[in-house]
Structure 1
């Protein structure tokens, strides 16, 4: 079922309606080991991540992308490398980088740290969106830079767009583009190399066609 939302981007790029294929990067060893990974960890995708990237390419290689965006972190560029290799115009958008988890980046998620993480999520869900993990970013800070990235995408060239991002950043991206309260960002679930397909309507708003879709990865299970 299609979902429709009012959104503040309706005035941007009405004459150049976008179809956005938004994917999360493939698996890294940090994902596999449960190690905290944010904007300060520039980890490559691992063997499973490369298989996920290939499966996504195989499933969507017939789509003609006019423009590709990835973050400034290598795992996103690697995850869509096959599409980039075809010569499609590509740009890095650091504005879309993952949230900074500050002092906890690169550390395993111990039971104590998991409790701290749950406490942080509770703060966000209660509306304390200026709350940040020690040394890291808060949702309002991330939303500010991601909103600049969204504006560049919507004002940029092309109609069929491929964007590769990170899990928490994707939740904030989707909340912004659908004008959702950031307190509810966790409703946008994600898995490695999942797909969110967004289509812009004639009035400039967006409809959600696919969410956290991993059908293209079924042969890897």
Structure 2
């Protein structure tokens, strides 16, 4: 079980992010122009690092975010275990007052420890945790010392809890921005975070910064 460093990146912006439409694991959108620029900005800052392999979800918005690295010929694997959470009937729809109430009710249930709560026809936190644990156990067994992982907002919130061996009720402690970067270091079979949701790569010459949609 080799010690390793893992760079964990959320995908770049999509039009659905921009418009406040729920994506989830069942909507396979592409990056918009801003998302493509965010992906390039991340690459420009971190291309010098000797990543051994790139691991993404099976959804194309993660593939497109790491495309500049893949163009270099880096080995690439897709892992559906880190797909975005399934939001059921709300996927592909703009948020409404009713759906926001349902979302708040479900996430509050998770905070109270009811991990089987889910949006209508959606995935529960318990189901999310099961697949994330499969992915983390896979990471623990890998021998590479430096990996790049690209996933999704809620999935990454859950992933941070699993990496740190925390209950999922703490998921909302972890914020996420488009191309926000987390760095996790594995030592002795345990992970700790050394960077959380960093978007400094989005700073441009004019001093502006993209404001990613959650």
TM-score tier (shorter) = over 0.9
Give 1:153 deviation, angstroms.
2.3
Identify the residue that residue 58 of structure 2 maps to in structure 1.
72
TM-score when normalising by structure 1: 0.91
- Partner of 2:25, secondary structure, is coil
Tell me, which stretches of 5 or more residues in structure 2 are unaligned?
A: 210-214
Q: How does 1:47-196 map to 2 (within 5 A)?
A: 47-196=33-182
Instruction: Select 1:214's aligned residue among 196, 199, 202.
Output: 199
CA distance in 1, matches of 2:108, 2:185: 32
Counterpart CA distance in 2 for 1:141 and 1:104 is 18
The question of whether the paired residues in 1 share the 8 Å contact of 2:163 and 2:192 is answered with: no
Distance 1:120 1:31 in 2: 21
CA distance in structure 2 between the partners assigned to 1:78 and 1:152 by the alignment: 23
For residue 169 of structure 1, give the secondary structure of its aligned residue in structure 2. helix
**Cα distance in 1, alignment partners of residues 182 and 50 from structure 2:** 17
Contact 1:67/1:157 (CA < 8 Å) preserved in 2? no
What RMSD over aligned residues (CA atoms) do the two structures have, in Å? 1.0
Partner-residue secondary structure (3-state), 1:22: strand
- Aligned residue for 2:212? none
Determine the C-alpha separation between the residues in 1 that align with 2:130 and 2:189: 21
Secondary structure, in 3 states, of the residue corresponding to 2:108? helix
Query: Matches of 2:29 and 2:155 in 1, distance apart?
Result: 16
Paired with 1:58 and 1:87, the residues of 2 have a C-alpha distance of: 16
1 or 2 for the larger relative contact order (CA 8 Å, sep ≥6)? 1
* Structure 1 residue runs of 4 or more that deviate by more than 3 Å after TM superposition: none
Counterparts of 1:213 and 1:129 in 2: how far apart (Å)? 28
Aligned pair count reads: 206
Unmatched 5+ residue regions in structure 1? 1-12
TM-score, normalisation: structure 2:
0.94
Match of 1:196, SS? strand
Cα deviation for residue 204 of structure 1 reads 2.5
Contact kept, 8 Å, 1:139 with 1:182, in 2: the verdict is yes
